[in-house]
């Protein structure tokens, strides 16, 4: 199977659509099932509901499960709602348990209960166990479809056990070893298992230096750990070290995408990224909370400017430079904010130290402030022929950039210290706060320079 580009995928879509429209089941299966499941999902999503209904009669639940595992989980609800409930429950049963749970968490509770009732008891219980875990924790993203080995097993027994259990396991590159009390005791790679002597016990061949995560650990921390250690999988344990499941690298890639999307939405000042299927009302509801807060903060900026009405009346040209100074402060603050949040998210700040990062950002603010201040001083002097006005604007720009850079880096560090998501210190929020600070600096300087300006 090869990855298809957009043109090839469009051609495949046309072929699949034609075979479905003409009721050619054999031709459809030959064309559709030859594609990689990812491409199957993309073709499937582009079809009209009428043709999707035909697909549900042409493919098995297992084949449909492979498709649905590659559809964005947040967008899967309409597809399962249009399926026959019994067929949908069989699709859920064939999916990896962690993927099934991710999708079921998007559905209404009565629909979830209906699907679980139809499903066979064993599959339903496995999914119910995972549904109980809090979202965005190790328990919610782990899979229980793994193979474990007993420490007392012989290597030849373990190989036979793997042959039997591997078809239903999500991965066997790492196999985790448990003791008689089902506590995690070690790990053995498939490579080490193959090259070990058949008469050795697993305890002799395994490594007891195994890294595990608690079932309650946050998924973002797990993603960071798997990135740092280059793990393909991580075992999940309870507080007594009993092995509960594993987290695989493909699940972590989904987590990283989800967390990046979540942080982006917060930086943009919205509660969640607008989905392609959101209507205008839903999009507005997501954006309004932050906008209302920023509206009140903006009102404070307007109120602050009104306090300097006397200065504006005396030297009206001061008003020209308000957007320039406020905009520059907002921009540099947002840049520092992005650097700080990235450093917190990747763990770089913990490695280099918060104080060192603050000193670097303060130095950066000083350099950029001095350069921008000197440039704008010369520009205003040449433009207006007033050196003191240029000096006022230049010093204001320099001071605002220094303060805004420090604030942009300092606010997320404080939030992180208070265990609040630093991404909440969104771009619009920092920009508005820096508007207030820059206006205060500008008019404070103007008051000091007033005798030289009039």
DSSP states of 110-172: HHHHHHHHHS-HHHHHHHHHHHTSPTTBHHHH-BS---EEETTSBHHHHHHHHHHHGGG-S--
pTM more than 0.75: no
Tokens of 257: 């995408």
Instruction: Judge contact between 237 and 212, C-beta under 8 A.
Output: yes
- CA 18-20-23 angle, to 5 degrees, is 110
Domains annotated on the chain, with CATH: 6-137 (1.25.60.10), 148-262 (3.10.580.10), 280-453 (1.10.357.20)
- pLDDT tens for each residue of the chain, 454 residues long: 556 677 777 888 888 888 998 889 999 999 899 988 888 999 999 899 999 999 999 999 999 999 998 898 888 889 999 999 999 999 999 998 888 888 888 888 888 888 889 998 888 888 888 888 888 888 888 988 888 999 999 999 999 999 888 887 888 888 999 998 889 999 999 899 999 999 999 999 999 989 999 999 988 888 888 888 888 889 999 989 999 999 988 888 877 776 666 655 555 555 555 454 566 676 677 666 666 766 776 677 667 667 776 666 666 777 788 888 888 888 888 788 777 877 776 666 665 677 888 888 888 889 998 999 899 899 988 888 888 888 888 888 898 888 888 888 888 888 777 776 666 555 666 777 777 888 888 888 877 777 776 5
Per-residue pLDDT tens over the stretch 115-146: 889 998 888 888 888 888 888 888 888 988 88
Instruction: Judge contact between 380 and 453, C-beta under 8 A.
Output: no
d(CA 247, CA 145): 10
Per-residue pLDDT tens over the stretch 4-26: 677 777 888 888 888 998 889 99
Instruction: Judge contact between 215 and 117, C-beta under 8 A.
Output: no
Helix (H) or strand (E) holding 178: strand 174-178
Report how far apart, in Å, the C-alpha atoms of 344 and of each of 138, 228, 263, 336, 418 are: 20, 14, 12, 12, 13
- CA 66-72-78 angle, to 5 degrees, is 90
> C-alpha 20: how far from its chain's center?
37
3-state secondary structure of 288: helix
Task: Give the pLDDT confidence score for residue 426 in this predicted structure.
Answer: 57
Task: Give the pLDDT confidence score for residue 311 in this predicted structure.
Answer: 66
Task: Give the pLDDT confidence score for residue 181 in this predicted structure.
Answer: 87
Task: Give the pLDDT confidence score for residue 44 in this predicted structure.
Answer: 92
d(CA 339, CA 348): 10
Tokens of 115: 């699907």
Task: Give the pLDDT confidence score for residue 92 in this predicted structure.
Answer: 92
Question: What number of residues does the chain have?
Answer: 454
Task: Give the pLDDT confidence score for residue 176 in this predicted structure.
Answer: 93
Q: Give the list of residues 6+ apart from residue 395 with CB closer than 8 angstroms, or none.
A: 373, 445
**Parallel, antiparallel, or unpaired: how do β-strands 243-248 and 233-237 relate?**
antiparallel
Q: Report, in angstroms and rounded to the nearest whole number, the Rg of the chain calculated over CA atoms.
A: 30
Report which of 54, 48, 119 is spatially closest to residue 90, judged by C-alpha positions: 119
Strand order in the sheet with 184-189: 148-150, 174-178, 184-189
Task: Give the pLDDT confidence score for residue 3 in this predicted structure.
Answer: 63
φ, ψ of residue 227 in degrees (nearest 5): -70, -45
What is the signed CA dihedral for 365, 370, 371, 374, rounded to 10 degrees? Answer: 150
Q: Give the list of residues 6+ apart from residue 450 with CB closer than 8 angstroms, or none.
A: 311, 314, 315
Q: Mark residue 419 as left, alpha or beta (left: phi above 0; alpha: psi -120 to 50; beta: remaining).
A: left
């Amino acid at each position: 199977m090869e990855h298809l580009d957009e043109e090839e995928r469009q051609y495949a879509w046309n072929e699949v659509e034609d075979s479905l429209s003409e009721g050619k089941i054999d031709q459809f299966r030959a064309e559709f099932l030859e594609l990689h499941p990812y491409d199957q999902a993309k073709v499937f999503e582009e079809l009209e509901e009428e043709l999707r209904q035909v697909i549900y009669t042409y493919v098995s639940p297992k084949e449909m499960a492979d498709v649905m595992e590659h559809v964005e989980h947040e967008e899967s609800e309409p597809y399962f709602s249009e399926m026959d409930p019994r067929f949908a429950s069989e699709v859920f049963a064939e999916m990896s348990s962690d993927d099934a749970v991710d999708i079921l968490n998007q559905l209404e509770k009565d629909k979830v209960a209906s699907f679980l009732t139809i499903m066979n008891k064993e599959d339903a219980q496995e999914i119910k166990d995972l549904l109980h875990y809090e979202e965005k924790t190790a328990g919610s993203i782990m899979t229980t479809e793994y193979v474990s080995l007993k420490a007392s097993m012989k290597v030849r027994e373990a190989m036979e056990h793997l042959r039997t259990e591997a078809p239903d396991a999500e991965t066997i590159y790492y196999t985790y070893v448990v003791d008689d009390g089902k506590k995690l005791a070690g790990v053995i790679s498939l490579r080490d298992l193959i090259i070990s002597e058949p008469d050795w016990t697993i305890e002799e061949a395994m490594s007891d230096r195994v890294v595990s995560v608690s079932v309650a650990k946050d998924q973002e921390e797990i993603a960071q750990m798997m990135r740092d250690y280059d793990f393909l999988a991580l075992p999940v344990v309870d507080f007594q070290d009993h092995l509960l499941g594993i987290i695989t690298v493909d699940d972590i890639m989904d987590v990283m995408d989800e967390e990046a999307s979540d942080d982006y939405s917060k930086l943009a000042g919205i509660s969640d990224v607008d989905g392609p299927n959101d209507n205008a009302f839903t999009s507005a509801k997501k954006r309004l909370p932050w906008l209302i807060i920023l509206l009140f903060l903006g009102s404070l900026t307007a109120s602050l400017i009104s306090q300097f009405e006397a200065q504006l009346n005396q030297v009206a040209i001061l008003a020209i430079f308000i957007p320039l100074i406020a905009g520059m402060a907002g921009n540099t603050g947002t840049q520092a904010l992005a650097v700080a949040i990235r450093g917190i998210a990747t763990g770089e700040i913990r490695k280099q130290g918060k104080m060192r990062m603050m000193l670097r950002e303060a130095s950066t603010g000083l350099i950029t402030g001095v350069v921008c201040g000197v440039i704008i001083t010369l520009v205003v002097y040449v433009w207006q022929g007033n050196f003191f006005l240029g000096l006022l604007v230049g010093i204001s720009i320099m001071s605002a950039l220094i303060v805004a850079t420090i604030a942009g880096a300092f606010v997320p560090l404080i939030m992180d210290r208070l265990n609040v998501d630093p991404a909440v210190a969104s771009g619009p929020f920092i920009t508005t706060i820096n508007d207030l600070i820059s206006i205060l600096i500008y008019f404070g300087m103007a008051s000091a320079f007033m005798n030289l300006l009039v």
